[in-house]
């Protein structure tokens, strides 16, 4: 393989402005009809949903359906577009997982207002409660995302209280 094609494959020959973060690239292409910042926002939103759904190493059909609905609602996307975005986000989480998590959260944080971050956090709790129980792994991932997005502690506590009946150790209380 020629040196130039290896450099291109590694992304070394691509100017920084044109280089897209790999976990978001395919999702962004599915959203190419949208304004670029809006597409990046939705791609990161979907990725973070997938991150929590996959926290317990299994994404249920109910979680996938909830992700479709949340992406469709927050992105004003057609059902087909939302399905593509969610499937790509789930795949990206499997492929890039831990190495991409902080970078995608940082990207989402730079594209969103604090209210949009809180909206995402509400969605993360709702998504993880689709099976009527938030696992310890899911709650831990939600807390990591909250820290990465710099969610204020009182806001996070309010969200936990709102979903308390689904939290481990608090359900049935």
Domains of the chain, earliest start first: 22-166 (1.10.3680.10)
Rounded Cα gap, residues 9 and 14, in angstroms: 9
Contact 39, 101 (CB under 8 A): no
Contact 89, 49 (CB under 8 A): yes
The pair of structure tokens assigned to 10 is: 């590694």
Rounded Cα gap, residues 116 and 75, in angstroms: 12
Model pTM score: 0.75
The tens digit of pLDDT for each residue in 43-62 reads 888 889 889 988 888 888 88
Range with lowest mean pLDDT among 61-65, 67-71, 89-93: 89-93
**Segments in the chain forming alpha helices (H):** 3-10, 22-30, 36-53, 61-75, 79-111, 114-128, 136-148, 153-162
- What is the mean predicted confidence (pLDDT) over 127-132? 88
The tens digit of pLDDT for each residue in 27-44 reads 666 667 778 888 788 888
64 or 170, higher pLDDT = 64
Rounded Cα gap, residues 69 and 87, in angstroms: 13
Q: Out of 42-46, 55-59, 70-74, 121-125, give the one with best mean pLDDT.
A: 121-125
Q: Out of 22-31, 49-58, 131-140, 149-158, give the one with best mean pLDDT.
A: 149-158
The pair of structure tokens assigned to 98 is: 């831990």
Query: Which residues fall within 8 angstroms of residue 103, CB to CB, at 6 or more apart?
Result: 21
41 or 1, higher pLDDT = 41
For the cut 70, the answer to whether the pLDDT of residue 169 exceeds it is no
The pLDDT of residue 156 is: 94
Contact 113, 32 (CB under 8 A): no
């Amino acid at each position: 393989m020629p040196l130039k094609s290896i450099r291109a494959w590694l992304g070394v020959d691509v100017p920084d402005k044109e280089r897209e973060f790999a976990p978001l690239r395919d999702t962004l292409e599915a959203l190419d009809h949208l304004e670029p910042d809006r597409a990046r926002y939705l791609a990161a939103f979907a990725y973070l949903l997938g991150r929590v759904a996959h926290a317990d190493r299994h994404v249920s059909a109910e979680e996938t359906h909830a992700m479709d609905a949340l992406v469709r609602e927050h992105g004003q996307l057609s059902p087909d577009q939302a399905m593509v975005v969610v499937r790509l986000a789930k795949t990206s989480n499997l492929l890039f997982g831990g190495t991409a998590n902080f970078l995608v959260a940082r990207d989402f944080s730079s594209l969103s207002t604090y209210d949009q971050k809180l909206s995402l956090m509400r969605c993360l709790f709702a998504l993880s409660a689709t099976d009527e129980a938030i696992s310890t792994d899911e709650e831990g991932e939600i807390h990591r995302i909250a820290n990465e997005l710099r969610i204020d502690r009182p806001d996070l506590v309010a969200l936990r209280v709102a979903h308390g009946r689904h939290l481990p150790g608090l359900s049935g209380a």
